[in-house]
Amino acid sequence: MPNISRDEVAHLAKLARLGVTDDELDTFAPQLDVILESVAKVSEVVGTEQDVPPTSHAVELTNVFREDEVRQGLTQEQALSGAPAAEDGRFRVPRILGEEQ
């Protein structure tokens, strides 16, 4: 099924917010192709089996609730302690809106 082109790798990288260089595209395209070709084997076995529900998790999960009461969390100082940039007790980020917006 797969046949991953450089353009497709560039598209995946964009979706995943990953900058990639031209050299990386050359390396990744054949590698991802081999990996995806190999893992595509999963559809073979399932195709021959009837009625196989998917398993997303090994443990049966139920929602966990707790009393809605105030508990000690991180202080503002702790929460900002690893921030690349902070200002006035908040995370400072690059602009998030384009010029035309």
Partner 1 sequence: MIKQTAAELAARIHAGEISSVDVTQAHLDRITKVDDQLNAFLHVDAEGALAAAAKVDADVAAGKPPVSPLAGVPLALKDVMTTKGVPTTCGSKTLEGWLPPYDATVTRKLREAGVPILGKTNMDEFAMGSSTENSAYGPTRNPWDTSRIPGGSGGGSSAAIASFEAPLAIGTDTGGSIRQPGAVTGTVGVKPTYGGVSRYGLVAFSSSLDQAGPCARTVLDAALLHEIIAGHDPMDSTSINAPVPNVVEAAKQGANGDLTGVKVGVVTEFSGEGYQQGVLDSFQAAVEQLRALGAEVVEISCPSFDYALPAYYLIAPSECSSNLARFDAMRYGLRVGDDGDHSAEDVMSASREAGFGAEVKRRIMIGTYALSSGYYDAYYGSAQQVRTLITRDFAAAYEQVDVLVSPTTPTTAFKIGERVDDPMAMYLADLCTIPANLAGNAAMSVPSGLADGLPVGLQIMAPALADDRMYRVAAAYESARGPVLNEIPEL
Residues contributing to the site for partner 1 (CB under 8 A): 1, 4, 9, 12-21, 24, 27-28, 31-32, 34-36, 38-46, 49, 52-59, 61, 63-64, 66, 74, 78-79, 81-85, 91, 93-96, 98
Q: How far apart are CA 19 and CA 12, in angstroms?
A: 10
d(CA 20, CA 77): 34
Q: How far is the CB of 65 from partner 1 (least distance, A)?
A: 10
What is the Cα–Cα distance from 85 to 91, expressed in whole angstroms? Answer: 6
CB closer to partner 1 out of 52 and 70: 52
